Amino acid sequence: MSSISFFWSRAFLASRQMLIVLFLVNALGTVYGYIWYWDQMQYTLDHHPLWRVVFVPDSPTASLFFTLSLLYLLFPQFTKSSSVLRLLRPIIEALAVVTSLKYGIWAVTMILAGAAQGDHLVWEHYMLIVSHLGMAIEGLLFVRFMVFGRLAAFFALLWLLLNDTVDYTFGVYPWLSDVLEDDLNAIQTFTIGLSVFSLLVTWFTLQFRKV
């Protein structure tokens, strides 16, 4: 094995030390993400029915799914000790991969689209670009260590499409930069298309998984 390929090998990525590091990073990122969305969640609770708030924090919910997936890899005895956890595993893992891929790409695209229309990027934008690219990449890297199949991935797509429908029907999509507000129809189309794209990429990567 070459020195470079080692860094995406099972021996490196699925080692207990790496899984613990990734768990902590994703858990902290999830908390940060919910804090980031806190004002919009509060606004949604004040102006919308309670159930719509579930569809507001897209990226942190995706990283939450991935964090839970890492627990399955860290503690494989979960699936042996509980039939419920065993049944939930493929659904959680599929949601982790498909949603991380989608919202990782979506957030980076929105930041760059805003910059292209005159937004001034600050350090926080660059931090978000790096962290969201990381979401998309880690989802693809860890597909081969997960147990979900095409059906569970399709279920994840249905969740994404429901989320997209609620977001753009009731106006609870992530708050956009002011310069992007007049592009809302294009963003909606892009968002829905990205949901389908994320499923197709996930299905494609499943072909190369060694079960």
The position carrying tokens 């990027």 is: 121
Dig out the tokens for 139 from the structure. 């989802």
Are residues 94 and 155 in contact, defined by beta-carbon separation less than 8 angstroms? yes
152 phi, psi to nearest 5 deg: -65, -35
Instruction: State pLDDT tens for residues 123-154.
Output: 999 999 999 999 999 999 999 999 999 999 99
Query: Residue type for 26, please?
Result: N
Query: Residue type for 124, please?
Result: E
Query: Residue type for 197, please?
Result: F
Instruction: State pLDDT tens for residues 60-72.
Output: 999 999 999 999 9
* CA dist., res. 151 & res. 165, Å (int): 21
Confidence of residue 182 (pLDDT cuts 50, 70, 90): very high
Instruction: State pLDDT tens for residues 7-27.
Output: 667 778 889 999 999 999 999
Q: What's the gap between Cα 50 and its chain centre?
A: 23
- pTM to 2 decimals? 0.93
Closest C-alpha to 9, from 100, 98, 142, 130: 142
